[in-house]
Amino acid sequence: MIRISALAASVKPSATLAAGAKARQLRASGVQVFDFSLGEPDFDTPAHIRAAADRAVAAGQTHYTPVTGTPEVKAAICRWYKGYHGYEVAPENVIVSNGAKHSLHNVLAATVGPGDEVVIPTPYWVSYSDLVSMTGAAPVLVHTTPESGFKLTPAQLRAAVTPKTRVLMLNSPCNPTGTVYTRAELEALADTLVDHSDAALLSDEIYEQLTYGDAKPTCVATLRPGLRDRTVTVSGASKSYAMTGWRMGWAVAPAALVKAMDAIQSQETSCPSSVSQAALVAALDGPQDCVAAMRAEFAARRELTCGLLRAIPGLKLPVPDGAFYAFFDVSAYFGKAFAGKPVGDSLGFCSALLEQAHVNLIPGSAFGTEGFVRMSFACSPDTICGGLAKLADWLATGR
């Protein structure tokens, strides 16, 4: 018998990936499943990006690269920040990794450990709490509510900060709520953090190119002069460029921290994929109309999703201003039974819904918030219409 380590025993598998696997299993047995579980664009990676990868392979770019990424990809990231956010970044501030999830892991591994605290507003993206726990540090969850638009307030932050606080994790636009903080709200949080602690700000901005209506993304590091010295910006290509499988994420950080992450990454994975880095250069430097087209499509699906959900009695839906998720309150249905099966929480709700109506949503408890469920609308309008019709019919059977 091979013994499993305490670390492995303590880690929960990603709830969203597990839900996706369950839906695939059902589908393989011939059932039509409406799967809204995965945070993955249904578009193909744009052709010019795939062509750049083909060219890289043909040119023999199939070897190890420098640990933190090729000079070309780091230069492209620097150009992109200057163009998109007016943020002047030097190559020594950039480290490219195998997806933004890996970047987050590197940042946490390089900044926190046992005895440290990391403040995470809830609802949070499923992996945050486990990524923190894997370092031995303690996640400090601060509960936000629909009344505040699921936004952390300066007063809540002040109350959560202790001498052990090392990092505040922020995510705007947010997965799962779609919340987008305004620049002024982020300034108030940054000022509170600076006034009350010497903690770093870890800002996950992976949905920055996906905001709707009047909502605007903000690059937190640019909020105040000097803030960049204690801010790490994480982003990636998965969501904006439909590049989930290429595994391209990055962190922008003070050079000393990049050096620390360089050492960790050199021992863990050597470098990110050479071919994917060539594709990322094409994504960031190439025509951006593909991003605009995908954003427009997501915006239309958001309208469709919100309209259909609002028409279902008992559901409460805060408007998502960014990303591609609807996070809605289903607690009015708790205490009812569906096909004789009582439902008392978001996990029970999602299990019964998948089993009985073959609609796959993620329980709010996976994001640290009970009473809600998350639906990804990064899928076809037909799937949205079909799945939400099934959801409405199923809810009506609750007794």
Ligand X SMILES: Cc1ncc(COP(=O)(O)O)c(C=O)c1O
Helix, strand, coil % over all residues of the chain, rounded to 5: 45, 15, 40
Q: Residues 143-182: x/- map of binding to ligand X (CB under 6 A)?
A: ----------------------------x---x-------
Q: Is 39 in the site for ligand X (CB under 6 A)?
A: yes
Residue 229 phi/psi, 5-degree rounding, is -70, -20
User: In the complex, what is the shortest distance from the CB of residue 200 to ligand X, in angstroms, rounded to a whole number?
Assistant: 17
d(CA 363, CA 328): 10
Q: How far is CA 140 from CA 132, 149, 150, 199, in A?
A: 10, 20, 16, 13
Q: Cite the beta strand spans of 47-136 per DSSP E.
A: 94-98, 117-122
d(CA 24, CA 31): 10
Cβ neighbours of residue 153 closer than 8 Å, sequence gap 6 or more: 144
Indicate which single residue of 206, 227, 284, 388 sits in contact with ligand X (rule: CB under 6 A).
Answer: 206
User: In the complex, what is the shortest distance from the CB of residue 355 to ligand X, in angstroms, rounded to a whole number?
Assistant: 25
d(CA 348, CA 345): 5
Residues 271-290 that bind ligand X (CB under 6 A): none
d(CA 172, CA 84): 16
Which stretch, 96-104, 215-223, 277-285, 366-374, contacts ligand X (CB under 6 A)? Answer: 96-104
User: In the complex, what is the shortest distance from the CB of residue 29 to ligand X, in angstroms, rounded to a whole number?
Assistant: 27
Q: How many residues bind ligand X (CB under 6 A)?
A: 13
Q: Is 249 in the site for ligand X (CB under 6 A)?
A: yes
Q: Is 14 in the site for ligand X (CB under 6 A)?
A: no
Instruction: Verify cis geometry, omega within 30 degrees of 0, for the bond prior to 318.
Output: no
Residue 168 phi/psi, 5-degree rounding, is -110, 125
Q: Is 41 in the site for ligand X (CB under 6 A)?
A: no
Cα dihedral sign for 72, 74, 80, 82? negative
Q: Is 374 in the site for ligand X (CB under 6 A)?
A: no
Q: Is 121 in the site for ligand X (CB under 6 A)?
A: no
Q: Which residue is nearest to ligand X (CB)?
A: 99
Indicate which single residue of 99, 318, 364, 368 sits in contact with ligand X (rule: CB under 6 A).
Answer: 99
Which stretch, 55-63, 99-107, 160-168, 269-277, contacts ligand X (CB under 6 A)? Answer: 99-107
Indicate which single residue of 22, 74, 101, 358 sits in contact with ligand X (rule: CB under 6 A).
Answer: 101
**318 or 322: CB nearest ligand X:** 322
User: In the complex, what is the shortest distance from the CB of residue 195 to ligand X, in angstroms, rounded to a whole number?
Assistant: 27
- Interacting residues toward ligand X by CB under 6 A: 39, 99-101, 125, 171, 175, 204, 206, 236, 238, 244, 249
